[in-house]
Amino acid sequence: MGAASTHEAGQFVGGASVRAVIAATPEQLWPWIGDPTRHPQLAGSGEPQSIRVTSPGQDGVGMRFEADQAIMGLIRYVSRSEVITYEPNRRFHFRVMDHADWDFLLEPTAGGTLVTHRSRFEASAAGWRAIFTPLLRLRTRQNTDGMVRTLENLARLVGAPPPTDIQVSHQPPTMT
């Protein structure tokens, strides 16, 4: 069961992280991670359909982009994101619509790069606890499965073998 917690302020928090070693350098992986317009090809969830950068000429912190999303092929919406941390070949962290964070960390290691892919979701719990908690747990599981597939896709896109040493945590990560 995915972890969900309630903060004192009535916020539900969910999330997960997936770590794996990919037999490639951070420099080989970064073009797929640091360019959000490539995320529809990268995302293991299949949810991003297309992505447009909406802050022309700006790579890095503050870059904004919109994504046409489709959940399970049924629920369609546009998400708006802003890059919070942009450290080429090291970290790409973006915040979606003031309630969700997505993050990639790249660390050189023996045999390639340790890639950590994290997500964290926060939502108001006011009046919806009984319904929201099971939905958040389901969504966390779906996201985690998609995150594993994202790392598999990343390896495939750079011509590397499938990731090794895959570790999954269903605890909401701290995003700093």
The rounded distance, in Å, linking the Cα atoms of 131 and 129 is: 6
Q: How confident is the model at residue 12 (pLDDT cuts 50, 70, 90)?
A: confident
The predicted pLDDT at position 4 comes to 46
Phi-psi label, residue 159: left if phi above 0, alpha if psi -120 to 50, beta otherwise: left
The predicted pLDDT at position 3 comes to 47
The predicted pLDDT at position 171 comes to 86
Q: Look at the chain and report how many structural domains it folds into.
A: 1
**52 occurs within a structural domain:** no
Q: Could you tell me the residue range of the domain that residue 93 belongs to? A: 4-35+88-169
Tokens of 160: 């590397």
Residue 40 has pLDDT above 90, yes or no: yes
**155 occurs within a structural domain:** yes
Task: Note the pLDDT tens digit of each residue in 78-117.
Answer: 999 999 999 999 999 999 988 889 999 999 999 999 999 9
**138 occurs within a structural domain:** yes
Phi-psi label, residue 72: left if phi above 0, alpha if psi -120 to 50, beta otherwise: left
The rounded distance, in Å, linking the Cα atoms of 65 and 80 is: 6
User: In the chain, which ranges are E strands?
Assistant: 4-6, 11-22, 48-53, 64-71, 75-87, 91-96, 100-109, 112-124, 164-169
**49 occurs within a structural domain:** no
Segment 113-126 shows an average pLDDT of 85
Q: Is the dihedral of CA 130, 135, 136, 138 positive or negative?
A: positive
**16 occurs within a structural domain:** yes
Task: Note the pLDDT tens digit of each residue in 128-162.
Answer: 555 566 667 777 778 888 899 999 999 999 999 99
Segment 14-31 shows an average pLDDT of 96
What is the CATH number for 110? 3.30.530.20
**147 occurs within a structural domain:** yes
**68 occurs within a structural domain:** no
Residue 77 has pLDDT above 70, yes or no: yes
**55 occurs within a structural domain:** no
Q: How confident is the model at residue 1 (pLDDT cuts 50, 70, 90)?
A: very low
Query: How many residues does the structure list for the chain?
Result: 176
